[in-house]
Amino acid sequence: MLHEFIVTHREEILERSCLKIAARSVPIPTMAEMGNGLPFFLDQLVTILRTEKGERAAGHHDVIASAAVHGRELLQMGLTVGQVVHDYGSICQSVTELADERGVAITAEEFQTFNRCLDDAIAQAVTEYEHQRDSTSGPSVEHLGFLAHEMRNLLTTAMLTFEALMHGRVGIQGSTGTLLGRSLRRMRNLIDRTLAEVRLGAGIGTTERVRVAELIEEIEVVATIEAKEHDIKLSVDPGACDVVVEADHQILASVVANLVQNAFKFTRPHGHITVCARATDERVLIDVQDECGGLPPGAVEDMFRPFEKRSANKAGLGLGLAISLKGVQACGGAIHVRDVPGTGCVFTVDLPRAPA
């Protein structure tokens, strides 16, 4: 049994892991790194492997929680996020190498459990580390500094998760692969939002006839992926195919996409997001309704100010809504917010309808 093997050879596994860390040139190893997260992870893995199948979920949650603590400890100790991936990887290598040397067979079920714990530990620790580092920034930092900070964090997470996948430590279908995909999508959204802001600031918007249904369908492709990842129901109604507005396509797409991203960010798990377009003879209205639970008093008046954030974790630039409002105004329209107490809120992009 794998758990018995780990218990018997616990000290040797940790010693091997420490030697692997000590031999590493980048990132530079430290004594503090070797004595914190790894023993906890190994002990909790033993607990999961020892329990019955039906009880393993509880122990698995302990591994995730321990990984999150390890992510916070790394930040507090001044260590780099790269050590997260290398640390857990050294545990995996040490266990498999020693088992091979001793001729100990690892069953398929045990190996699957082992890799699942390793996968989630890496993903959770990196996510927590990045979250903790994000929360140390404040609104006094210049916009460019925020942009560089967030882009660097996303790129670092993507590179580290890719490294773990490339070396075969975890599978692409697990939590680490999901984290890589999420980081890449967030980078894309950040780039789109920044390009829209640059166009607005430089006054280089190009007005063209934009079919609203086609615009909504473009956004739906990405939103569908987000909905599956967040376990959220998504309903999209692009409206009539002949509804047209005159706007800068890139800016308007960035505006609506940002509102949809916000809806995913604040909607509770298993919630429902609705995106629909409707039109009158003179106006075109694009509604994005979330299930964030409703807004606190006074939030509607403040939420379009730069650096105002609706989330408790304070992550992100906090510029998206301000940019969205500016973009819609550049197209001759406005954004309205309606609170649905106890349920969520509805953001409405209100634009003049172009003649047919």
For 58-69, give the DSSP string.
HHHHHHHHHHHH
Name the domain count of the chain.
Answer: 2
Of 173, 196, 219, which residue constitutes the final position of a domain? 196
Regarding whether 110 and 233 lie in a shared domain, the answer is no
Would 251 be classed as within a structural domain?
yes
Asked if 294 contacts 300 with a C-beta cutoff of 8 angstroms, the reply is no
Q: Give 71's pLDDT tier (boundaries 50, 70, 90).
A: low
Query: Which tops the pLDDT comparison, 209 or 324?
Result: 209
Residue 222, domain CATH:
3.30.565.10
Would 233 be classed as within a structural domain?
yes
Q: Which residues contact 348 (CB under 8 A, 6 or more apart)?
A: 285, 286, 287, 288, 335, 336, 337, 338
Q: What was the pLDDT predicted at 344?
A: 93
Regarding whether 185 and 164 lie in a shared domain, the answer is yes
Q: What was the pLDDT predicted at 326?
A: 81
Q: Give 352's pLDDT tier (boundaries 50, 70, 90).
A: very high
Task: Give the residue-averaged pLDDT of 324-339.
Answer: 86
Would 42 be classed as within a structural domain?
yes
Regarding whether 178 and 32 lie in a shared domain, the answer is yes
Of 196, 229, 261, which residue constitutes the final position of a domain? 196
Of 170, 196, 222, which residue constitutes the final position of a domain? 196
Regarding whether 239 and 143 lie in a shared domain, the answer is no
Would 81 be classed as within a structural domain?
yes
Least confident window among 11-15, 202-206, 258-262: 202-206
- Tell me the one-letter amino acid at 116: R
C-alpha to C-alpha distances, 305 to 301, 319, 328, nearest whole angstrom: 8, 8, 15
Regarding whether 182 and 225 lie in a shared domain, the answer is no
Q: Give 276's pLDDT tier (boundaries 50, 70, 90).
A: very high
Q: What is the pLDDT of residues 83-100, one digit of tens each?
A: 666 777 788 888 888 988
Q: What is the pLDDT of residues 183-235, one digit of tens each?
A: 777 777 677 666 666 666 655 567 889 999 999 988 887 788 788 878 899 99
Residue 78 pLDDT > 70: no
Q: Give 141's pLDDT tier (boundaries 50, 70, 90).
A: very low
Regarding whether 283 and 190 lie in a shared domain, the answer is no
Q: Could you give the CA distance from residue 241 to residue 288 in angstroms, rounded to a whole number?
A: 19
Regarding whether 177 and 113 lie in a shared domain, the answer is yes
Regarding whether 188 and 43 lie in a shared domain, the answer is yes
Query: Which tops the pLDDT comparison, 28 or 105?
Result: 105
Residue 104 pLDDT > 50: yes
Residue 148 pLDDT > 90: no
Regarding whether 95 and 15 lie in a shared domain, the answer is yes
Task: Give the residue-averaged pLDDT of 119-144.
Answer: 58
CB neighbours of residue 289 within 10 Å: 21
Instruction: Supply the range of the domain harboring residue 266.
Output: 206-352
Would 318 be classed as within a structural domain?
yes
Regarding whether 91 and 37 lie in a shared domain, the answer is yes
Regarding whether 242 and 97 lie in a shared domain, the answer is no
Would 201 be classed as within a structural domain?
no
Residue 310 pLDDT > 70: no
| Average pLDDT value over all residues in the chain | 75
Regarding whether 251 and 176 lie in a shared domain, the answer is no
Would 161 be classed as within a structural domain?
yes
Q: Could you give the CA distance from residue 138 to residue 134 in angstroms, rounded to a whole number?
A: 9
Of the chain, the percentage scoring pLDDT greater than 70 comes to 60
Q: What was the pLDDT predicted at 350?
A: 96
CB neighbours of residue 42 within 10 Å: 19
Would 49 be classed as within a structural domain?
yes
**Could you tell me the pTM of the whole model?**
0.49
Q: Are strands 344-352 and 283-289 parallel, antiparallel or unpaired?
A: antiparallel
